[in-house]
Amino acid sequence: MRKVLAIATAAVLMISAGPALAQTPTPTPTPTPTGQDGGDDDLVIDLEGGRSSALPIIIPVMPTNAVTGTPAGSTDALGRQLSAIIDDDLRNTGLFKTVGPNAARPIGYAEVNAPDYGSWDAYASQALVQGYVRANGNGTLTIGCYVYDVASRRQLIREGFVVQPSEWRRAAHKCADAIYTRLTGDGPYFDSQIVYVSETGPKNRRIKRLAIMDQDGANHRFLTNGQRIVLTPRFSPDQRQIVYMGYENKRPAIYVHDIAARTSRLLVPDVNLNFAPRFSPDGRWILFSMAKAGNTDLYRIAAGGGAAQQLTTSPGIDTGGSYSPDGSKIVFESDRGGTQQLYVMDGNGGNQHRISFGGGRYATPSWSPRGDLIAYTRTGGGAFRIGVMSPAGGGERTLTESWGDEGPSWAPNGRVLMFFRAASGSGRPDLWSVDLSGHSRRIPTPLDGSDPSWGPIRP
């Protein structure tokens, strides 16, 4: 089954035509500098400020033109759920202070396109999300996503999404992404998926299964059955495949899982220990580590299989390779200097140089899809931390610290990370996300969770 989008960037339904047609979208604003108020009438979030400058936004229940039963539920119930998802998405960033569907007064269908600005002044909010739900004759749903600046009394966003009922949640994420992008200037990330390792069972015999879910934990499903250990899954750029390490018949190896076909194939037929796989940004290569007689080096192999090409030769452990977004460079960890530190090299293995020089150990580097930062795990002094630094080295910032924070993976917009946090004693891990502002939260999973990999924004 092909992976086709079920969300159409739809023609926007106008409730009353005329004036709205004349409105053209304004360009995405650039963020204001740290510590400054916007000053003009543009609604913009101070990106570096985090929670203290959270932008107030009202998200009433989305009305429907006619209450209609659909496979996803009746349209009036959907309106409440869609608003709740948008509320969750925005509030969970730490950048918005929401007045959600339970707190905002209900709006009428005709009001969607003609906001009663005066009635919202009492909410002391700045932005207003008015959407609607409509069941179409052909079985699809249209979800409108209109956003207004309450203070300047003008429309900021006018979008509509046509979806199959089975993918109604994606319309809410797309709407939240449009709001996030318009008001922060950063790229979208709500309409994306996570692949991770679902864990259960006693500490000395954990059952580990690959699982996939939406970024907010919805639509969770398992991909493997737990009969063998599976580790470190990562999405292919087209999201159709997942590369991971698995122990099959006591032979650890790298496999590629086809999501639609539900099959896994062995990628590297080799007697040595192969692990730490990751796709190149163009999807043509898979970077991985191979341990031969106690020495671990980085290799790459065509994603379809073939002969592996060796990229590093140092005596020591070279692992955790991650490509820069343009594919020209690779960041990896190596203990060639004594303990784990981060190094950057060209895609062919040339020009290897160290970029981390702080105390402790640096591991599991991940190059931001935006290219501007490298996230990593830093251990030492009894703590595991998630941090970021410049690809040139320097500019180090620690985002989280606990007994066991490990394995950061970037959201598609390059400003949010997901990682896992293991508990001392039980060792049980949970998934967490952290914004570059430092705002962090736990991601709900049915069982314990580790090794998250954040997929690209869905097409």
Partner 1 sequence: MAKILTSMVLGVALIATAGCTKKRPETVLPPGDGPVSNGGDTGSGDADTSPLNEQFRREVASDTIHFAFDQYDIDPQSRAILDSQAAWLRAHPNTRVTIEGHCDERGTREYNLALGDRRANATKNYLAAQGVSPARITTISYGKERPVALGSDDQSWAANRRAVTIVIN
Site for partner 1 in 379-418 (CB under 8 A): 379, 384, 403-404, 406-407, 412-413
Q: Give me the least distance between CB of 181 and partner 1, in Å please.
A: 6
Task: Give yes or no for residue 206 binding partner 1 (CB under 8 A).
Answer: yes
Which residue, 99 or 422, is less far from partner 1 as judged by CB?
422
| Residue numbers 30-49 binding partner 1 by CB under 8 A | none
Report the residue from 63, 79, 115, 246 that binds partner 1 according to the rule CB under 8 A. Answer: 246
Residues 380, 120: Cα–Cα separation, whole Å:
51
Of the CA atoms within 13 Å of residue 444, those in its CB half-sphere come to 8
Task: Give yes or no for residue 142 binding partner 1 (CB under 8 A).
Answer: yes
Report the residue from 30, 52, 204, 351 that binds partner 1 according to the rule CB under 8 A. Answer: 204
Nearest to 278 by CA among 258, 303, 296, 259: 303
Task: Give yes or no for residue 336 binding partner 1 (CB under 8 A).
Answer: no
Find the part of the chain contacting partner 1 (CB under 8 A) among 96-104, 113-121, 243-251, 351-359. 243-251
Task: Give yes or no for residue 21 binding partner 1 (CB under 8 A).
Answer: yes
Task: Give yes or no for residue 440 binding partner 1 (CB under 8 A).
Answer: no
Q: Give me the least distance between CB of 90 and partner 1, in Å please.
A: 16
Report the residue from 75, 184, 239, 296 that binds partner 1 according to the rule CB under 8 A. Answer: 296
Residues 166, 176: Cα–Cα separation, whole Å:
18
Report the residue from 183, 422, 431, 443 that binds partner 1 according to the rule CB under 8 A. Answer: 422
Cα–Cα distance list, 343 to 276, 279, 376, 419 (Å): 16, 18, 12, 21
| Count of residues engaged in binding partner 1, rule: CB under 8 A | 101
Q: Which residues contact 345 (CB under 8 A, 6 or more apart)?
A: 311, 312, 329, 330, 332, 351, 352, 353
Report the residue from 203, 307, 350, 353 that binds partner 1 according to the rule CB under 8 A. Answer: 203
Which residue, 99 or 301, is less far from partner 1 as judged by CB?
301
Report the residue from 363, 416, 417, 418 that binds partner 1 according to the rule CB under 8 A. Answer: 363
Report the residue from 101, 131, 320, 391 that binds partner 1 according to the rule CB under 8 A. Answer: 320
Query: What kind and span of H or E run contains 247?
Result: strand 241-248
Task: Give yes or no for residue 217 binding partner 1 (CB under 8 A).
Answer: no
Q: Give me the least distance between CB of 21 and partner 1, in Å please.
A: 7
Task: Give yes or no for residue 215 binding partner 1 (CB under 8 A).
Answer: no
Task: Give yes or no for residue 276 binding partner 1 (CB under 8 A).
Answer: yes
Residues 304, 149: Cα–Cα separation, whole Å:
50
Residues 323, 343: Cα–Cα separation, whole Å:
12
Q: Give me the least distance between CB of 150 and partner 1, in Å please.
A: 21
Task: Give yes or no for residue 200 binding partner 1 (CB under 8 A).
Answer: no
Q: Do 368 and 322 contact (CB within 8 A), yes or no?
A: no
Report the residue from 35, 39, 118, 294 that binds partner 1 according to the rule CB under 8 A. Answer: 294
Task: Give yes or no for residue 310 binding partner 1 (CB under 8 A).
Answer: no
Amino acid (1-letter code) at residue 92: N
Residues 143, 64: Cα–Cα separation, whole Å:
9
Long-range (24+ apart) CB contacts under 8 A made by 374-380 are 374/322, 374/331, 374/342, 375/408, 375/410, 375/417, 376/333, 376/342, 376/408, 377/405, 377/406, 377/407, 377/408, 377/419
Which residue, 39 or 338, is less far from partner 1 as judged by CB?
338
Q: Do 3 and 260 contact (CB within 8 A), yes or no?
A: yes
Q: Give me the least distance between CB of 352 and partner 1, in Å please.
A: 17
Count other Cβ atoms within 10 Å, centred on residue 381: 9
The torsion angles phi and psi of 157, rounded to 5 degrees, stand at -135, 135
Which residue, 391 or 412, is less far from partner 1 as judged by CB?
412
| Residue numbers 165-194 binding partner 1 by CB under 8 A | 166, 177-178, 181-182, 187-188
Nearest to 318 by CA among 347, 348, 289: 289
Nearest to 6 by CA among 96, 141, 130, 127: 141
For the residues of 413-443, what is the DSSP string, one character each? TSSEEEEEEEPTTT--EEEEEEETTS-EEEE
Residues 282, 265: Cα–Cα separation, whole Å:
20
Report the residue from 250, 269, 353, 359 that binds partner 1 according to the rule CB under 8 A. Answer: 250
Query: What kind and span of H or E run contains 85?
Result: helix 75-92
Task: Give yes or no for residue 339 binding partner 1 (CB under 8 A).
Answer: yes
Q: Give me the least distance between CB of 119 and partner 1, in Å please.
A: 26
Site string for partner 1, 91-120 (x = CB under 8 A): ------------------------------
Report the residue from 77, 151, 218, 273 that binds partner 1 according to the rule CB under 8 A. Answer: 273
Residues 169, 142: Cα–Cα separation, whole Å:
12
Q: Give me the least distance between CB of 140 and partner 1, in Å please.
A: 4
Which residue, 12 or 84, is less far from partner 1 as judged by CB?
12
Report the residue from 169, 257, 300, 385 that binds partner 1 according to the rule CB under 8 A. Answer: 257
Count other Cβ atoms within 10 Å, centred on residue 270: 15
